[in-house]
């Protein structure tokens, strides 16, 4: 067997058969996509790392300064402030999204009539774009012309219009609400996919054993959703860490630069102050943080369920 | 009757006579939630058809006294006129859709049906780009586009958007092609078709669901994208819709006209909602397929 096998292999490698030539054709099909990825993803990534070692203004000479950008980062108060704010924001927004998405997924997973209508409604905000959504909420929350204040006053919940986006805590709350509104549907679909992969028979067996709703949730649904949950969590956390649009549009980083996220700070440095070298160093730092975060999450949520 | 009882078993043991109230409360809860999700969009659209004075009224009014399209007309007075920006956004979106489909289909075919050296490595490289947040490579992208003389052009922006779509697009198309039986392809090859004809005659026709999915995501992502457009476009005539709207909001053109702003939001939102409602199946399939595989 071995001898025949090696003989055949030698035959194949020494004589390129038409089918082998054809296999290489695959390379050409794949090439355009690879070239695009190289030019617009890989190379820029390498350039970012390279630029981070320079003082690189938009116009004029760029000078090599080694790790000076990274050293300066440590004493950059706004950087740490932004990092902290972005972390705080992520910590608040993530559970909100998940809890709502989980509830929605459970509701929509039932074989009731009209379920697809509800699913569509819950998902609708996902497709409208973050820019449009932020502009929508800016109006909604406006203290003079927004309908939010009007409704709250009519319901006697507040006496005077509130400037929601003018106070750091209120702004955080309302932006979180707007983001949860926008993205819960997406997380819902991801969780739903995982839920639908759980065999019905498990629930039926549990019911026979006398397990009620909460027991079923704890011992069947949640453990089996672990992998889906981990994936959804990583996507959600990365998304929150990269937040920019809503803060640029709704609060302009205010009040008093308190809502400047990491990406917003990168944007300011690279495209407002044109300190592109420093902006690149910040970008690399962001990447490192994301990789660490994702790795941490996947590590903590590792392992197959025991069922 | 019994099947209704069985179907709500997730709520625990149900007594027969409670089934009706359980069902009712289910629908009430779901409807309230649905209302919460739809209301903001609804009110925004409603504001856009209010007479301008009512739209900027303080405190806000609920319903318009009469239908008024002035807000849309006023939106046209900003910068170079609404339609210029709609045009720009549309061109970019169409280029992105076309480019994404082209590259993803070719690459998906290559990865699915061929075995060449470096195949796995290249596949992983393209997919790994999903891990790179484009926010961190904007600076060099800005410079690269400049070197290619594509900065501040719709084409340049489209090329960047196409690249963003590639990981997902290639993934979807490869999976789509994997589900097509190889016998069809082999039969065509035996009949003397070139590989390219096989792609063209056989795979494309059967791969339509995947292509539609890629198209939808490409369109929505490029139509809605804000940050890259903001950075790469420096002259008014090349702005896309999101940039126009943000400029309106930042009162670059004077006092914020809320009616006009919401009119702009409505114009931006409508294509997305229409596409989603019509092609829901493909959109959700794309998401769910990816999640299961991941």
Q: What is the DSSP letter of A1?
A: -
Token pair for B75: 């939106």
Q: What is the pTM of this model?
A: 0.83
Option in B122, B224, B262 nearest A131 (CB): B224
**pLDDT single digits (tens) B280-291:** 888 877 776 654
DSSP string, B121-182: HHHHHHHHGGGS-GGGGHHHHHHHHHHTT-TT-HHHHHHHHHHHHHHHHHHHHHHHHHTS-H
> Hey, is the C-beta of A234 within 8 angstroms of any chain B C-beta?
no
ipTM topping 0.95:
no
pLDDT of residue A6: 65
pLDDT of residue B291: 44
- Cα–Cα distances (Å) from B131 to B1, B118, B168, B223, in that order, read 50, 20, 11, 22
| Contact: B231, A39; criterion CB under 8 Å | no
Task: Report the distance separating Cα A71 and Cα A50, nearest Å.
Answer: 16
Q: Which value, to the nearest 10 degrees, does the dihedral of the CA atoms of residues B205, B192, A22, B197 take?
A: -30
Contacts (Cβ under 8 Å, ≥6 apart) of A147: A140, B43, B47, B60, B62
Option in B10, B40, B115 nearest A140 (CB): B40
Is the sign of the CA dihedral B279, B171, A245, A275 positive or negative? negative
Of residues B221 and A144, which shows the higher confidence score? Answer: B221
Find the mean pLDDT for residues A17-30. 78
Q: Helix H segments across chain B?
A: 2-7, 19-48, 52-55, 70-75, 82-113, 119-128, 138-147, 154-178, 182-190, 195-197, 204-206, 208-224, 227-232, 241-249, 258-293
Please report, for chain B, the start and end positions of each structural domain, with discontinuous segments joined by +: 2-72, 77-293
Find the mean pLDDT for residues B227-256. 83
| Contact: A22, B195; criterion CB under 8 Å | yes
Instruction: Using alpha carbons, select from B42, B254, B67, B256 the residue that is nearest to residue A145.
Output: B256
| Contact: B280, A120; criterion CB under 8 Å | yes
Q: What are the beta bridge partners of residue A55?
A: A63
Burial of B165 from C-beta contacts in 10 A (0-12 / 13-18 / 19+): buried
Cβ contacts of B12 on chain A, cutoff 8 Å: 212-213
Instruction: Using alpha carbons, select from A295, A306, A106, A108 the residue that is nearest to residue A226.
Output: A306
Task: Classify each residue of B36-61 as buried b or exposed e, where b means 16 or more C-beta atoms within 10 Å of its C-beta.
Answer: ebeebbebbbbbbbbbbebbbbeebe
Cα nearest neighbour of B112 on chain A: A26
pLDDT at A211 exceeding the cut of 90: no
Q: Which value, to the nearest 10 degrees, does the dihedral of the CA atoms of residues A10, A15, A20, A21 take?
A: 150
pLDDT at B143 exceeding the cut of 80: yes
Find the mean pLDDT for residues A295-305. 77
| Contact: A122, B34; criterion CB under 8 Å | yes
Q: What are the beta bridge partners of residue A63?
A: A55
Name the average pLDDT for chain B.
84
pLDDT confidence bin for A104, thresholds 50/70/90? very high
**pLDDT single digits (tens) A43-55:** 999 999 999 998 8
Q: Which of A12-26, A58-72, A175-189, A244-258 has the lowest mean pLDDT?
A: A12-26
pLDDT at A76 exceeding the cut of 90: yes
Instruction: Using alpha carbons, select from B260, B276, B122, B31 the residue that is nearest to residue A38.
Output: B122
Instruction: Using alpha carbons, select from B167, B38, B176, B43 the residue that is nearest to residue B103.
Output: B167
Task: Report the distance separating Cα B142 and Cα A121, nearest Å.
Answer: 38
pLDDT at B292 exceeding the cut of 70: no
Cα nearest neighbour of A213 on chain B: B12
pLDDT of residue B157: 93
| Contact: A34, B258; criterion CB under 8 Å | no
Helix (H, G, I), strand (E, B) or coil at B48: helix
Burial of B7 from C-beta contacts in 10 A (0-12 / 13-18 / 19+): middle
| Contact: B110, A181; criterion CB under 8 Å | no
pLDDT at B251 exceeding the cut of 90: no
Task: Report the distance separating Cα A283 and Cα A290, nearest Å.
Answer: 11
Helix, strand, coil percentages (3-state) for chain A, rounded to 5, are 75, 0, 25
Count other C-beta atoms under 10 Å from residue B192's C-beta. 7
pLDDT of residue A209: 87
Token pair for B9: 């078993």
> Hey, is the C-beta of A74 within 8 angstroms of any chain B C-beta?
no
> Hey, is the C-beta of A58 within 8 angstroms of any chain B C-beta?
no
Token pair for B6: 């069985």
pLDDT of residue B293: 44
Does residue B55 have a cis peptide bond before it, meaning omega lies within 30 degrees of 0? no
Assign 3-class secondary structure to A240-292. Answer: HHCCCHHHHHHCCCCCCCCCCCHHHHHHHHHHHCCEHHHHHHHHHHHHHHHHH
pLDDT confidence bin for A303, thresholds 50/70/90? low
Backbone φ and ψ for B225, nearest 5 degrees, come out as -65, 140
pLDDT of residue B294: 38
The CA distance from A4 to the nearest CA of chain B, in Å, is 23
pLDDT confidence bin for A96, thresholds 50/70/90? very high
Most confident of A86-95, A187-196, A264-273, B118-127: A86-95
- Residue to test with chain B: of A25, A38, A40, most B Cβ within 10 A: A40
Contacts (Cβ under 8 Å, ≥6 apart) of B53: none
Class of domain B77-293: mainly alpha
pLDDT at B224 exceeding the cut of 70: yes
Q: Which of A43-57, A102-116, B178-192 has the lowest mean pLDDT?
A: B178-192
Task: Report the distance separating Cα B195 and Cα A208, nearest Å.
Answer: 56
Find the mean pLDDT for residues B99-107. 93
Task: Classify each residue of A186-195 as buried b or exposed e, where b means 16 or more C-beta atoms within 10 Å of its C-beta.
Answer: bbbbbbbbbb
Helix (H, G, I), strand (E, B) or coil at B282: helix
> Hey, is the C-beta of B110 within 8 angstroms of any chain A C-beta?
yes
Backbone φ and ψ for B95, nearest 5 degrees, come out as -60, -40
**CA angle in degrees (0–180, nearest 5) for B198-B289-A125:** 120
Instruction: Please give the CATH architecture assigned to the domain spanning A68-300.
Output: Orthogonal Bundle (1.10)
Task: Report the distance separating Cα B84 and Cα B264, nearest Å.
Answer: 13
**pLDDT single digits (tens) B106-138:** 999 888 888 888 888 888 888 878 777 788 888
Task: Classify each residue of B116-155 as buried b or exposed e, where b means 16 or more C-beta atoms within 10 Å of its C-beta.
Answer: beebeebbebbbebeebbbbbbbbbbbbbbeeeebbebbe
Option in A30, A132, A263 nearest B269 (CB): A132
pLDDT of residue B161: 93
pLDDT of residue B17: 61
> Hey, is the C-beta of A263 within 8 angstroms of any chain B C-beta?
yes
pLDDT of residue B37: 95
């Amino acid at each position: 067997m071995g001898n025949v096998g090696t003989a055949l292999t030698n035959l194949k490698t020494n004589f390129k058969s038409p089918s082998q030539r054809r296999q290489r054709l695959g390379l050409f099909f794949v090439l355009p996509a690879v070239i695009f990825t190289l030019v617009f993803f890989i190379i820029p990534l390498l350039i970012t790392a390279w630029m981070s070692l320079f003082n690189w203004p938009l116009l004029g000479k760029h000078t090599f300064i080694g790790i000076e950008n990274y050293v300066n980062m440590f004493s950059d108060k706004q950087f740490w402030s932004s990092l902290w704010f972005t972390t705080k924001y992520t910590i608040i927004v993530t559970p909100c999204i998940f809890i709502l998405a989980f509830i929605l997924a459970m509701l929509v997973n039932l074989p009731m009539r009209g379920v697809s209508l509800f699913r569509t409604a819950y998902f609708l905000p996902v497709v409208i774009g973050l820019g449009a959504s932020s502009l929508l909420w800016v109006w909604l929350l406006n203290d003079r012309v927004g309908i939010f204040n009007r409704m709250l006053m009519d319901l006697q919940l507040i006496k005077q219009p509130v400037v929601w986006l003018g106070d750091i805590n209120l702004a955080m709350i309302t932006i979180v609400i707007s983001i949860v509104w926008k993205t819960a549907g997406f997380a819902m679909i991801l969780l739903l996919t995982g839920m639908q992969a759980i065999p019905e028979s498990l629930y039926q067996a549990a019911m026979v054993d006398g397990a009620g709703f909460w027991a079923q949730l704890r011992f069947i649904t949640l453990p089996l959703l672990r992998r889906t949950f981990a994936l959804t969590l990583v996507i959600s956390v990365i998304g929150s860490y990269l937040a920019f649009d809503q803060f640029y549009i709704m609060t302009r980083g205010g009040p008093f630069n308190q809502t400047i996220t990491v990406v917003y700070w990168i944007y300011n440095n690279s495209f407002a102050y044109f300190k592109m070298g420093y902006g690149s160093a910040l970008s690399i730092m962001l990447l490192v943080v994301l990789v660490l975060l994702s790795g941490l999450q996947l590590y903590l949520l590792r392992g197959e369920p025991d069922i | 009757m019994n099947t209704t009882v069985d179907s709500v078993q997730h709520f625990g043991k149900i007594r027969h006579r409670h089934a009706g109230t359980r069902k009712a409360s289910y629908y009430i809860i779901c409807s309230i939630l649905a209302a919460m999700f739809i209301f903001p969009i609804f009110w925004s659209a409603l504001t856009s058809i209010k007479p301008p004075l009512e739209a900027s009224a303080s405190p806000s009014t609920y319903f318009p006294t009469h239908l008024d399209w002035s807000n849309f007309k006023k939106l046209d007075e900003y910068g170079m006129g609404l339609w210029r920006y709609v045009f720009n956004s549309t061109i970019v979106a169409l280029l992105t859709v076309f480019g994404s489909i082209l590259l993803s289909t070719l690459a998906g075919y290559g990865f699915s049906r061929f075995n060449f050296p470096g195949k796995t490595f290249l596949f992983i490289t393209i997919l790994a780009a999903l891990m790179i947040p484009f926010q961190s490579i904007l600076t060099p992208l800005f410079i690269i586009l400049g070197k290619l003389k594509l900065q501040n052009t719709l084409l340049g922006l489209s090329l960047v958007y196409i690249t963003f779509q590639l990981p997902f697009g290639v993934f979807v198309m490869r999976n789509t092609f994997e589900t097509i039986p190889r016998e069809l392809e082999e039969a065509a090859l035996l009949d003397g078709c070139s590989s390219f004809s096989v792609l063209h005659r056989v795979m494309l026709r059967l791969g339509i669901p995947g292509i539609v999915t890629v198209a939808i995501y490409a369109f929505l992502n490029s139509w809605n994208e804000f940050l890259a457009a903001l950075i790469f476009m420096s002259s008014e005539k090349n702005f896309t819709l999101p940039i126009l709207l943000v400029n309106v909001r930042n009162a670059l053109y004077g006092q914020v006209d809320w009616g006009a702003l919401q009119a702009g939001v409505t114009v931006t939102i409508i294509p997305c909602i229409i596409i989603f409602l019509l092609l829901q199946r493909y959109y959700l399939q794309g998401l769910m397929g990816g999640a299961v595989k991941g």
